């Protein structure tokens, strides 16, 4: 008898055998047991997660001779015919090869006919998104109101390409990627049944390389068995996949913690000699750093996330800050890896970047090797340039506090935005000190006058439209806890109750006593508002600058000799 590949030999025959997809299996079982069957089901998800397999099990469950239930017997003639692909009432259609509308119409013409032997006639349409628009239109009416003896099971990897009219007529089940630990356990059960020796770490590599696809994992398992000669060893499986084992990744992180650049480069070049896929290797390193970070947060509870003793040991030696830094550098480097001259060069630079930005003498970390921490060697012949560089470095290090580190301080400097040095505002001298607004002491509102109002506005914690309301009001006076203001009619829209309340709160906070506002619109005092005063002062400066420019002898000579015109709108005095 010819060999049958593992993906076909170990294809699930019952719902209990399905790996993952518990949410889908539970919903279908409940529907079968309660006899609440829909006429159209849509199964979506990436390749190899069980869309067609679950559809076949469902077809077997609704046609089982023992009755409709979530547990088909698997022994009756109908169940055996479905398993072997000989059931005439299960019509499987590959939409990728039947895209023409004529073929779809021919398929729909047979829908009214009753099933030959089974209880239902089942149409299983795989990769249904490959249908053309005309094919979908031909399917639409039948899909909405099929005969009672017909069920439609649709499967696709790209549901976004399906018309919304089709999606609205189906019960949609989204199959997710299968977790690594479930795939590994599934592979372990198969190898035990097949009596093939294996290393558990080798199965972990295959499960991760499958990227959530059970079928891909079984195909890789077949390939690994052939490559390793019947015994799955971690090193051989890693060489076949072009990845690294957990031991090699742990050694790489060890070298990173020790600051040993030589070991890191040697590890990268050994991977290059083994035809490693550096994109996948960086992914494995990021996955390890993520498990280390989770272990640092959860501690002993991280065992549920498959953190072995090696991960726990690395989590105890690496600080949380370093772990996050390494992860971010690796994530950025993996994105930029296709831009490198060679994948190996890009991978080496990612590792060296982790080493370069690693904080020196970080708490709880291994001291950096002398090759990394030593200062630059003196220039040949003791040139002044080299001595000056060494002197500058020594002086800068000696002035640093013991807890500071160059890398950490540099990162903090980059993270903080530069702020220009602003001189403190000068104190405006007043002839009457009692009437000057002093921020260092409470202000008596009864002593304020119209001249103090602009400075008082500058001391209030207000911005935006509230500040515009204040500077467009003129001071009228204070009496009985109420400040009377006059609003310029040209900006009467600022007279909003919300803005007035916020201005009153700011005045209350600054003056140290409850303040009420009485704001009325008045054109007579419009010229006394701080905004009008600022505009008048700016206009006066403009006029003075224009007069000085017009009186300048050089300007007059240019106007006389070249018939030049002075653009007064662009003249400004600073």
Question: Tokens 């017997």 correspond to what residue?
Answer: 73
For residue 428, is it within any domain?
Answer: no
* Cα dihedral value 247, 248, 253, 255, nearest 10: 120
Q: Residue 124: which residues within 8 A CB-CB, separation 6 or more?
A: 52, 55, 56, 59, 90, 91, 92, 93, 153, 155
Query: Do 256 and 313 reside in the same domain of the chain?
Result: yes
The tokens for 353 are 């970047």
Is the Cβ–Cβ distance between 220 and 206 less than 8 Å? yes
The tokens for 336 are 């930029």
Cα–Cα distance for residue pair 254/250, rounded to 1 Å: 6
For residue 408, is it within any domain?
Answer: no
* Cα dihedral value 324, 326, 329, 335, nearest 10: -90
For residue 133, is it within any domain?
Answer: yes
Extract long-range pairs of 372-377: CB within 8 Å, 24+ residues apart. Answer: 372/259, 372/260, 372/261, 373/259
Cα–Cα distance for residue pair 300/315, rounded to 1 Å: 11
Which helix (DSSP H) or strand (DSSP E) does residue 160 occupy? Answer: none
The tokens for 438 are 């002093």
The tokens for 390 are 């060494």
Q: Is the pTM of this model over 0.95?
A: no
* CA 196 centroid distance within chain: 41
β-bridge partners, 485: 475, 519
Please state whether beta strands 473-479 and 482-487 pair in parallel, antiparallel, or not at all (unpaired): antiparallel
Cα–Cα distance for residue pair 142/140, rounded to 1 Å: 6
Is the Cβ–Cβ distance between 223 and 256 less than 8 Å? no
Domain count, the chain: 5
Cα–Cα distance for residue pair 222/230, rounded to 1 Å: 10
Q: Residue 507: which residues within 8 A CB-CB, separation 6 or more?
A: 456, 460, 483, 515, 517
Which helix (DSSP H) or strand (DSSP E) does residue 479 occupy? Answer: strand 473-479
- pLDDT recorded at residue 574: 53
Cα–Cα distance for residue pair 331/345, rounded to 1 Å: 16
β-bridge partners, 150: 121
Strands of 516-521's sheet in order across: 473-479, 482-487, 516-521
Determine the structural domain holding residue 185 and report its residue range.
Answer: 180-241
Cα–Cα distance for residue pair 208/180, rounded to 1 Å: 6
Cα–Cα distance for residue pair 269/297, rounded to 1 Å: 33
H-state helical runs in 100-199: 101-109, 133-144, 164-167, 180-194
Q: Count CB neighbours of 536 within 10 A.
A: 11
Cα–Cα distance for residue pair 257/242, rounded to 1 Å: 25
Cα–Cα distance for residue pair 88/335, rounded to 1 Å: 50
Its sign, for the CA torsion 55, 61, 62, 68, is negative
Query: Do 317 and 455 reside in the same domain of the chain?
Result: no
Please report, for the domain that includes residue 232, its CATH number.
Answer: 1.10.8.60
For residue 402, is it within any domain?
Answer: no
Question: What are the two backbone dihedrals, phi and then psi, of residue 299, each rounded to the nearest 5 degrees?
Answer: 65, -125
Q: Shortest CA distance to 21 belongs to which of 153, 156, 176, 172?
A: 176
Q: Residue 282: which residues within 8 A CB-CB, separation 6 or more?
A: 330, 333, 334, 337, 347, 350
Query: Do 58 and 131 reside in the same domain of the chain?
Result: yes
Query: Do 30 and 113 reside in the same domain of the chain?
Result: yes
Question: Tokens 């979908």 correspond to what residue?
Answer: 136
- pLDDT recorded at residue 302: 52
Query: Do 467 and 493 reside in the same domain of the chain?
Result: yes
For residue 371, is it within any domain?
Answer: no
Query: Do 140 and 185 reside in the same domain of the chain?
Result: no
The tokens for 108 are 């729909």
Query: Do 31 and 124 reside in the same domain of the chain?
Result: yes
Cα atoms in the 13 Å half-sphere on the side-chain side of 444: 5
Final residue of a structural domain among 305, 325, 356: 356
Is the Cβ–Cβ distance between 208 and 284 less than 8 Å? yes
β-bridge partners, 232: 198
Strands (E), 63-166: 90-94, 121-126, 150-156
Q: Shortest CA distance to 93 belongs to which of 61, 64, 60, 121?
A: 121
- pLDDT recorded at residue 518: 87
Please report, for the domain that includes residue 27, its CATH number.
Answer: 3.40.50.300
- pLDDT recorded at residue 571: 53
H-state helical runs in 357-460: 370-373, 384-398, 406-415, 453-459
- pLDDT recorded at residue 245: 66
Q: Residue 345: which residues within 8 A CB-CB, separation 6 or more?
A: none
Largest CA distance in the chain: 113
Measured CA angle at 391 (ends 385, 396), to 5 deg? 130
Query: Do 206 and 67 reside in the same domain of the chain?
Result: no
For residue 322, is it within any domain?
Answer: yes
Query: Do 164 and 131 reside in the same domain of the chain?
Result: yes
Final residue of a structural domain among 198, 214, 241: 241
Query: Do 17 and 123 reside in the same domain of the chain?
Result: yes
- pLDDT recorded at residue 102: 86
Please report, for the domain that includes residue 455, its CATH number.
Answer: 3.30.300.150
Each residue's pLDDT expressed in tens, for the chain with a length of 574 residues: 478 899 999 999 999 999 989 999 999 999 999 989 999 999 999 999 999 999 999 999 999 999 999 999 989 999 999 998 899 999 999 988 877 888 888 888 889 999 988 999 999 999 999 998 888 988 888 888 899 999 999 999 999 999 999 999 999 999 999 998 999 999 999 999 999 999 888 898 899 889 899 999 999 999 999 998 888 888 888 888 877 766 677 788 888 888 888 888 888 887 777 677 888 889 889 988 998 898 888 875 455 444 467 788 888 888 888 899 999 999 999 999 999 998 889 999 999 999 888 776 544 444 433 333 334 444 444 444 443 343 434 333 334 444 444 444 444 443 444 444 444 444 444 444 444 444 445 677 778 888 888 888 888 888 888 888 889 899 888 888 888 888 888 888 778 788 888 888 888 888 888 888 888 888 887 888 898 888 888 888 888 888 888 888 888 888 888 887 777 655 555 5
Query: Do 130 and 200 reside in the same domain of the chain?
Result: no
Cα–Cα distance for residue pair 161/164, rounded to 1 Å: 9
For residue 383, is it within any domain?
Answer: no
For residue 401, is it within any domain?
Answer: no
DSSP class of residue 308? -
Cα–Cα distance for residue pair 137/133, rounded to 1 Å: 6
Query: Do 523 and 549 reside in the same domain of the chain?
Result: no
- pLDDT recorded at residue 54: 95
Cα–Cα distance for residue pair 269/537, rounded to 1 Å: 72
Cα–Cα distance for residue pair 133/163, rounded to 1 Å: 8
Please report, for the domain that includes residue 338, its CATH number.
Answer: 1.20.272.10
Final residue of a structural domain among 158, 174, 190: 174
């Amino acid at each position: 008898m010819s060999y049958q590949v593992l993906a076909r030999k170990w294809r699930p025959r019952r719902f209990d055998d399905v790996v993952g997809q518990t949410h889908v299996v539970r919903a279908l079982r409940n529907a079968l047991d309660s006899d609440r069957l829909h006429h159209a089901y849509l199964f979506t998800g990436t390749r190899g997660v069980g869309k067609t397999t679950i559809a076949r099990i469902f077809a077997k469950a609704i046609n089982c001779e023992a009755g409709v239930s979530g547990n088909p017997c698997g022994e009756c003639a109908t169940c055996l015919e479905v398993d072997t692909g000989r059931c005439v009432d299960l019509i499987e259609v590959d939409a990728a090869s039947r895209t023409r509308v004529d073929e779809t119409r021919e398929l729909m013409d047979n829908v009214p006919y009753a099933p030959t032997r089974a209880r239902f006639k089942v149409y299983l349409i795989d990769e249904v998104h490959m249908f053309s628009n005309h094919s979908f239109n031909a399917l639409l009416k039948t899909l909405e109101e099929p005969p009672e003896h017909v069920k439609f099971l649709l499967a696709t990897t790209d549901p976004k390409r399906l018309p919304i009219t089709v999606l609205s007529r189906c019960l949609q089940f989204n199959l997710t990627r299968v977790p690594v630990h479930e795939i590994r356990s599934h592979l372990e059960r198969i190898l035990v049944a097949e009596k093939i020796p294996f290393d558990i770490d080798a199965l972990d590599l295959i499960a991760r390389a499958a990227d959530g696809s059970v079928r891909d994992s079984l195909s890789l398992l077949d390939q690994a068995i052939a490559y390793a000669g019947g015994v799955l060893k971690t090193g051989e499986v890693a060489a076949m996949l072009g990845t690294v084992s957990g031991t090699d990744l742990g050694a790489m992180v060890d070298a990173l913690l020790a600051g040993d650049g030589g070991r890191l480069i040697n590890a990268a070049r050994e991977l290059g000699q083994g035809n490693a896929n550096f994109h996948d290797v960086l992914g494995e390193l990021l996955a390890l750093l993520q498990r280390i970070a989770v272990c640092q947060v959860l501690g002993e509870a991280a065992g549920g996330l498959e953190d072995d003793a090696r991960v726990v040991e690395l989590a105890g030696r690496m600080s949380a800050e370093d772990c996050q830094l390494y992860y971010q550098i690796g994530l950025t480097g993996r994105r930029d890896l296709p831009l490198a001259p060679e994948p190996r060069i890009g991978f080496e630079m990612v590792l060296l970047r982790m080493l370069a930005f690693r904080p020196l003498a970080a708490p709880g970390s291994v001291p950096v090797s002398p090759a990394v921490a030593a200062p630059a060697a003196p220039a040949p012949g003791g040139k002044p340039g080299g001595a000056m560089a060494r002197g500058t470095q020594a002086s800068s290090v000696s002035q640093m506090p013991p807890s500071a580190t160059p890398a950490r301080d540099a990162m903090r400097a980059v993270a903080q935005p530069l702020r220009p040095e602003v001189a403190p505002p000068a104190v405006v001298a007043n002839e009457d000190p009692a009437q000057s607004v002093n921020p260092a002491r409470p202000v008596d509102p009864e002593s304020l006058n119209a001249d103090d109002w602009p400075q008082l506005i500058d001391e209030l914690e207000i911005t935006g439209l509230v500040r515009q309301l204040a500077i467009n009001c003129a001071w009228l006076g204070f009496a009985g806890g109420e400040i009377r203001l006059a609003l310029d009619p040209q900006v009467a829209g600022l007279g909003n109750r919300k803005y007035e309340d916020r201005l009153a709160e700011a005045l209350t906070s600054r003056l140290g006593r409850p303040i009420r506002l009485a704001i009325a619109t008045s054109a007579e005092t419009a010229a006394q508002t701080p905004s009008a005063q600022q505009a008048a002062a700016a206009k006066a400066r403009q006029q003075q600058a224009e007069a000085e420019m017009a009186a300048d002898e050089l300007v007059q000579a240019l106007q006389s000799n070249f018939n030049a015109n002075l653009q007064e709108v662009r003249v400004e005095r600073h």
